Every structure is written in C-alpha cells, then in structure tokens.
Amino acid sequence: MGLLLLTATAISCGEEFLDPDTTQFATKDQINDLVENGGGDGVVNLLNSTILGAYNEMTVYQSRHDAFGEMSVGLAGDLMTEDMVISYRTHFIYDYDIDNNDAAYARPLNTWKYLYSVIGKCNEVIEKVPVTVTDAPLKTVLGEALALRAYAFLSLVQRFQQTYSENEDKPGIPLTLTSNDDRPSVGGRGKVSEVYDKILTDLETAVNLLNGAERKTKTAIDQSVAAGIFARALMVVGDWERAAQYAKMARQKYTLMSGAETVADNFGDINNKEWMWGADITAETTTMFASFFSHVCSFDAGYGSTTFAPKLIDARLYRAMAVSDIRRQQFKDPDAPVDLKSSVAEENAPSYCNFKFKKVTGWLADYLYMRASEMYLIEAEALAQQGKNGDAYNVLKILMDVRDPEWSKNRTNATVEDVFLQKRIELWGEGRIFYDYLRLRKSVDRTYTGSNHMVKNSVNAGSWKFIYQIPQTEMDNNEELKAADQNPLS
C-alpha cells in the first residue's frame, strides 16, 4: 500500500475535534475474547470512541478555508453544475470554473485525504469485530463502520472515475480493507465493478446489522441512513428495483416539512424532522469562517455574505419553478428591486440570491448529510427508470403536495427528467446533485441567453474535467500506481 494512502488513513482531526483514540490499548485478540464472552461495556466504549472519530473526520478543518470535510466536498460539486452561481472570485472559484481537477491541486488531495481518513477509522472497528458477531451493541458499531466506509468509498469512486455504467472494467480506487473483510485489499486501481461490489455488499450487511438498533443522536448512522446510502449506491449501478425498495425503507420514520416550514427553516438544525443524518456543530467543533455556512449563508459575516460573494441560484433553474412553488421564496425574486441602500437584508440582496441557508448565531449551524425528501426523489426516479411512470408520479406527488400543490394538476405520470428537475430544486446547495449530473451524464451549459453565471462555460457530459486526477503525492508514493494509472486531465 502506498505511503500517502496509509498516512491519510491515520490522520486525526486534531485536538480541538477529537478525544484520543483509545482502541490502541485493546488488541484484536483481546476484543475477540470479550466478544466471545458477551462483549461488555468496555469493548463497546472503545469501539464507539473510534467510530466517533470517523464521524468527526467529516467536519475536519484541513488548513484551508475551502476544505472542511464532507460539506466542502459537496459544495465543490454543486459549484461544478449549472445550478449554483458564485458572484466573486474567491474560495471555490476554481471548482466553479470546472478547472480544479489537476493532480497537483489541493481539491483532489484534500478530498482524497479526508475520505481515506474516514475509511481508516472505520477499518479500526471492522478489523476488531467479525461480521458473525451476535452481541447487539457490537453489531451496531460494526454496522455503522461498514456503512460509513461504504459511504466514503462511494464518494471516492464517483469523484475519481467516470460513472459505473459502461465503465465497469475501468480503473477504480484503492480498496483499503481488513482481515475481517471478505476479500483482500487492493493497493492500486482495482476495477470499478470490484469497488461497487464491495460497497453494495457492505451496505446490505450494514442494513441487516443495524436492524432494531436505536441511536441516541442523528449524528450516527442507523438502519434508515444505511438504507439511504444503499439506495444512492443502487441508483449508480442501475439496480432500480432495489433502489426504490431501500429509499422507501429509509424514509419511513420521517415526516416532510410543510411548505411554510420549508421557507422558514434555516437548513442548519439537525433536529429538523426531515433530517435523517448530519453533524451537530457545537462551540467546540465549529470552524467559523472555514465552514459550510460561512460560504453559503447570505446574511452572516462569512464569505457568502451579500456584500462579498453570495451564492445564487441559476436563472434558468429558478424560472423552472412555477409561481405556485413555495421554494421560490428561498431565493431573491429577480423581478424584485435591489436596493443597496436598504437596511433590510433581503432588499439589498442581488437577484437570485439564496435565502435558504439562514444565519445561525455563533457559527453553530449544523451540517446536513441526508434528509427524507431525497429518499422520495430517489424512489420516484427509480420507478420512472423502470417505466413505472404512474407509480413515480404517486411518490413524487407526496413531496410536491407540500412544495407546489399546483404541480399535480393535469398530470398522471412523472418521468426521469421530471424527478431530476425537482431534485435540483429541492436539494439545491446541499451537496448532492453533482453525483446525479455524473450518474445521468448531464452536460453543463451556462451560455444560454439570460444566463446569470459569472463564468459562462459549457462542459459536455462525460468530460474528464468533472473527474479528479489521483493526487500527485499518491502517485509518487504508492508503489502500486504507475503513470498509466492516472486519469486524463480533460
């Protein structure tokens, strides 16, 4: 295994984010002895400390104001689509240019290091708990570790290789596994199909292990979240039937926000009834200016402030919302006047400015990783992909009835394109839609008449500009990677 990848998996979040990892004091044999004798609070506490470290890696500050774990990866992706506009050349500008994939650049390296750090922490748990475990608390922590590792592998393989379909035999990513896994590690670039096979296998196992487990907080993965991650992965490989099944399973415990709640919500509170999984940002873990809300909140002192570089919705996407769609109120109406002298923030905001992400005092806005509305959208698309457009309509209608009650008039069917449009609107700015651009092979065209994009470029579907090169330090230090293993630059 290469030097960088091994190093990356050992990186912690730093003293300000993590308690010391105590699993170093218990060997696999010692834990196996405890497992055979019924587990016990000691071993469970040790392993829960480690999985907490994996979750904390998702909010780590990587010494850059545009690199802070999961939400920076998602924001970089959103800015590579048509859907989000940046109005000033500051952090994330090269992502917005769709010109930040070079092996020597920080974005590929930070993405790689963050995700393999998560994998490394998960492997510490998986290495010490066999999949045959029967002790309930140990089954839970193993299920969490398998699901979270699969989540990281899924993000990596989508960022560092073209989408699954028609690329199954192409080079994937290194699979860093454990002695408890069902196959050996792959230090180089194994096949894409092998990576996805492992992801799907582990997610199915995780869903089963987490059956009946109760979590104390939404910061942890439970069976619903594992099913949601599984549904995302199944969509990539085109297993529509199971994708619909697991998306429906994932959303069962959650209630959709009403239209009024959608507009009023700040999209920064993990206690929101739609949120399935997220990070609870506290005074100890906030990274302040180097944070997601610093970049997307229009009314705080960060980079996304209306007086600096607010994030706007694409004009064409805004116009695709009906007047009756409540989500229009999440953005500045372009027909409303812009009064720079006004003391009312909404009045002096530029046209199309987002009001979705609202100020949370003290930089304590929580991070959103998954919510129930996405599961309705996955289920609806998976049904439409099977030609079940009437069933897709019935599922999508549940969401649209609380977003745009007029949407369902004179309709009885929903197509894949109908769902994709609603997903772009519903999940705007949440760091998910770029994966659908890749999976559905969507081009980016900001050159249309009336475009409000600062950078008016066009990139065809399947372009290597959308895919990161393997970081140069990994290429240099991983003896199993050769120059021919590198992705094209464009």
Give the model's pLDDT for residue 51. 97
Structure tokens at 304: 């996304």
Segment 433-442, tens digit of pLDDT: 999 999 999 9
Residue 383's nearest CA partner among 252, 255, 248 is 248
Calculate the average pLDDT of the chain. Answer: 92
Structure tokens at 382: 């998976």
- Region 365-372 average pLDDT: 98
Region of poorest pLDDT, from 45-59, 205-219, 240-254, 336-350 = 336-350
| Number of other CB atoms surrounding residue 188 within 10 Å | 17
Give the model's pLDDT for residue 12. 32
Q: Which residues, in sequence order, are CB contacts of 16 under 8 Å at separation 6+?
A: 284, 285
Which of 1.10.150.120, 1.25.40.390, 2.40.180.10, 2.40.280.10 would CATH assign to domain 3-251+430-480?
1.25.40.390
Residue 124's nearest CA partner among 202, 234, 34, 10 is 10
Q: Is the pLDDT of residue 107 over 90?
A: yes
Instruction: Give the DSSP per-residue string, 375-442.
Output: HHHHHHHHHHHTT-HHHHHHHHHHHHTTT-TTTTTT-----HHHHHHHHHHHTTTSS-HHHHHHHTT-
Q: Is the pLDDT of residue 490 over 80?
A: yes
Give the model's pLDDT for residue 235. 99
Q: What is the Cα–Cα distance from 226 to 232, expressed in whole angstroms?
A: 10
Amino acid at position 381, single letter? E
Segment 291-344, tens digit of pLDDT: 999 999 999 889 999 989 999 999 999 999 999 999 999 999 999 998 888 777
Please, where in the chain does CATH 1.25.40.390 lie? 3-251+430-480
Give the model's pLDDT for residue 30. 64
Q: Is the pLDDT of residue 179 over 70?
A: yes
Give the model's pLDDT for residue 346. 86
pTM, 2 dp: 0.93
Could you tell me which residue, 35 or 96, shows the higher pLDDT?
Answer: 96
Give the model's pLDDT for residue 345. 79
Give the model's pLDDT for residue 44. 87
Give the model's pLDDT for residue 24. 45
Segment 23-58, tens digit of pLDDT: 444 566 666 666 666 556 778 888 999 999 999 999
